[in-house]
Amino acid sequence: METSIDRITLTGLTATGFHGVFPDERREGQRFVVDVVLELPVETGTDALSDTVDYSAVAEAVEEVITGEPRDLIETVAGEIAARCLEHGRVERVTVTVHKPHAPLTQTFTDVAVTISRSRHV
């Protein structure tokens, strides 16, 4: 029997973090925006939270990583968020995008983002 994989998406989770390689980024902080796509089998016939994932808990974990220990790279931040998402038992795969819209570039730009995908089964 094939197991279906469904998606739950959290878009635009925003918090202030102190990630970056430059002293100003570590001192002043900046806004980071995160999108998370959770892939998991969702039981739609029971209406029970235990048959899905508590996305408020996922959002809290994302915020904890953003506001937590400063990292040099948003790649590391994305990896930590992905690992936290995979701790939620039903999540099989996760795609995380970390946006750094105020990255220290001299060029005009809209966004800098890193997207990674991780799964429980490597």
Digit-coded pLDDT (tens) for 103-120: 999 999 999 999 999 998
Q: Please state at what angle helix 55-67 crosses helix 74-86, rounded to 10 degrees.
A: 150
Mean pLDDT of the chain: 94
What pLDDT score was predicted for residue 44?
86
- Residues taking part in catalysis: 100
What are the structural domains of the chain? 6-119 (3.30.1130.10)
Digit-coded pLDDT (tens) for 11-44: 999 999 999 999 999 999 999 999 999 999 988 8
